[in-house]
Structures are given as C-alpha cells and as structure tokens.
A = this chain, B = another copy of it.
Amino acid sequence: MNISGTSILSKRVSNGVNTKKILDDFKKQGARIETRTRVKLSGKKDFSLWYTPGVAVASTYLAKHPKEAREMSVKKNSVAVVSDGSAVLGLGNIGPYGALPVMEGKALIFKSIAGVDAWPLVLDTQDPDEIVRIVKAIAPSFGGINLEDIAAPKCFDIEKRLVAELDIPVMHDDQHGTAIVVLAGLMNAAKVVKKNMKGLKVVISGAGAAGTAVAKLLRASGIRDIILLDRAGTIYAGRPELNTHKKELAALTNPRKVKGGLAEAMEGSDVFIGVSGKGLLKTEHVASMAPRSIVFAMANPEPEILPDEAKKAGALVIATGRSDFPNQINNALVFPGIFRGALDRGVKKITEATKLRAARALAALVPKPSVTKIIPDLLDPRVMKAVARAVH
C-alpha cells in the first residue's frame, strides 16, 4: 500500500487546520454512526412479536416471497457503502482501515441528508472477482450498493458486473456522483460564460474512475470535443499501449486527435476539468485557453491550480472540491438523493438518462448562476429532494 498521500495531507492540513485536533476529535468521538431500534422491546409481547415466535411468520413469508424483503426488512431503506481502500480520497491505496473513516463519513451523510440507513463495509481484499462475489453475497440485506474509492480500471468491471447481476441499484460514486455534479456545474458555468454547452472544448486531466465517468456523461449530454489525459498525455485512438478501458475512451473522445501533454490539449480549450493531482495545471495553460474559460480543479486535498492563480491567468469561472473556496463540486450533492430516489421508487439501475436528469435538476437549483455560484450549497435542503426526484 502507498501511504505517500500523508505528506501532502499534513502540508495541506497545516494550512489552517490542526491535524492533531482533528485526530483527537475522531479518537474522542469513536463511532460516528450507530444503530437505532425502530420498535420497542420492553416487554414479553414485544419479544414474542419481533423475535420468537413472531419473527418465524416473517421468515416463512419472506422465504416464499423474497422480493417483499424490500418492504418488510432493513432492505427497505439501507445501502452498503463498500470499498476495498484501493483509491481513497487523494491518499491512494491505503487499505480497508484507511478507507473506513471515509465510508463511515458517507454513511453519516447518507443518514443526515437523505435518511438512508447506510453501513460502511470495508473489504480486506482487493481482488476484483472476490469483491464482486462478496458484494453479490451480502446484497440481500441491502436496498442499494454504493461502491466507493475503488481504483480504476478494475472499478469499471466490478461495477458493470454488479449492475448486471444484482436487482438493487449499484453505483460507484467516484464515477457517477462526480460526473453528475460536474455536469450540473458545467451547465451553469456555460451560462455564466455565455457559451453553448455542446460546442465546448473540454480537457479532462485524469483518466481514472472520475475522469472516465465525467467524459462519458459529458458526451451523453451532447458535448463532442473532449480530450482526456493520463500520465502519458492525451488519449487518442492508436496511441501505443492503451489498455482496453483506455481504448474505449480513445474511441469516444479526442475527435481532433490532439497529441502531446496538457500544453497541447489546453490550447484554445473552453473548459478544464481536473480529477488528477495537486498543482498540475500551470498559469500558462490557463492563459492559453479560449476567452471566458472555465476551470474545475477538483484534485483532493490540493487542487490542480489554486483559484486565485487560475483567475489571474484569465479563467472566468473556477470551481474546486473544497469548501473554503466558492463553487464546491462535491459528490455529497448527489449520492444521498440518488439512493433516496432509487429506494423510494424501487429503481434498480441508475441509467445515463437518470444521471442527465439529476444533473439538470441540480443545475436548475441555481437559476441565475454567477461566477461564484454555479452549484447549490451542500447544505441547501432542496438538493437531496431535487436529485431524488430525478431518479425514476
């Protein structure tokens, strides 16, 4: 496992946040979520109903009518937040225990924002076949599966197989949560810069889980000129040594077959979307963009470029993943509502159409977007419901 993220983090956190204080808070707090009983168990009657012998009636019934578990068990309102810890935040492959606080944090958000009963399940394996088998095996207890922080490219196949084989919604949030919120932000950013969405020239730095899903959803929204970059530069059809996943991306993107690095890709572009790493975007890259450019620098914990630098270099609308700058592009705007909607309506697949609707619904919550306000606030109570309504 690679724990090299640590040094980046300590630096980042030392810029204003007290690492030791945070760690103490986590230690003092212990668990951030717990279970709560929804029925009384205070007398023999309660035991007889909800445990033995009453429970045998429900068991006998569900053995015969398994689909009704959705209505009469924890399955009704629950989501497993599953990770193998192979790609956690900006920290990399830090394993199940490293991933646990993040998954617990997501469970906390699920409950706080959407009333969804989510339980963190971090896995002590990173083998894709094992992960698929495990998630399939534990699925009967849950109404949905939120995959999280699983590294690309294995995350694509894992999700695809689970979506195909399970009859509950399965979503890898790093992919689709990110893609939905990026598309929503971009819709409003395009309004601010007065450019037509479909004509945007978009550069995506990072071809992992998030970058791939963003590219696909932007394409589904009608945008055609998208260039993806990985560590080796722009992805184009015919580039040597592309894996299957990247071959697919090459076929879908980069219609002008731009070769080279960020410098080549960025020249004349309208939009930069960073899901890559700290400081990768230089001011000269931004300066080479088309007028009225849009920069989403979403690397965590440190963005590809700091907002004031991007602004100085000429960008008009700037977003990051951070709460201490305007325009926070955060998955928490999306995943609670997606699963709330799916659970409420028994939706089994989160389709491309659903994602587009969710992005539009999210964007519509900011009817008059501005340079510093392209996306609703995380705490805006309308957000979860608007996204949930898009899931049908």
Contact = CB atoms under 8 A, between A and B. Distances in A.
Interface of A: 1, 3, 5-6, 9, 12-13, 17, 19, 22-23, 25-27, 29-39, 41-44, 47-64, 66, 68-69, 71-78, 85, 88-91, 94-113, 117-125, 130, 133-134, 136-141, 300-301, 321-324, 330, 332, 378-379
From A42, A90, A102, A321, residue with most partner B Cβ within 10 Å: A102
A60 B100 contact: no
A38 B44 contact: no
A76 B12 contact: no
A35 B38 contact: no
A382 to B, nearest CB: 16
B64 A3 contact: yes
Contact of A141 (B32, B90, B121): B121
A62 B94 CA distance: 9
Contacts of A88: 59
A59 B94 contact: yes
A38 B83 CA distance: 22
> Top 7 A-B pairs ranked by shortest CB distance?
A63-B98, A63-B94, A66-B97, A36-B36, A58-B101, A41-B112, A96-B140
B90 A56 contact: yes
A97 B62 contact: yes
A100 to B, nearest CB: 5
A120 B80 CA distance: 12
8 contacts: A22-B58, A23-B61, A32-B39, A32-B74, A33-B37, A35-B119, A73-B100, A121-B141
A29 B68 CA distance: 13
Given A44-B378, A119-B35, A141-B122, A59 B89 contact: yes
A72 B9 contact: no
Contacts of A106: 51
Contacts of A25: 49, 54
Contact of A89 (B56, B103, B110, B112): B56
A113 B140 CA distance: 26
A321 B52 CA distance: 9
Contacts of A36: 33-36, 111
A135 to B, nearest CB: 10
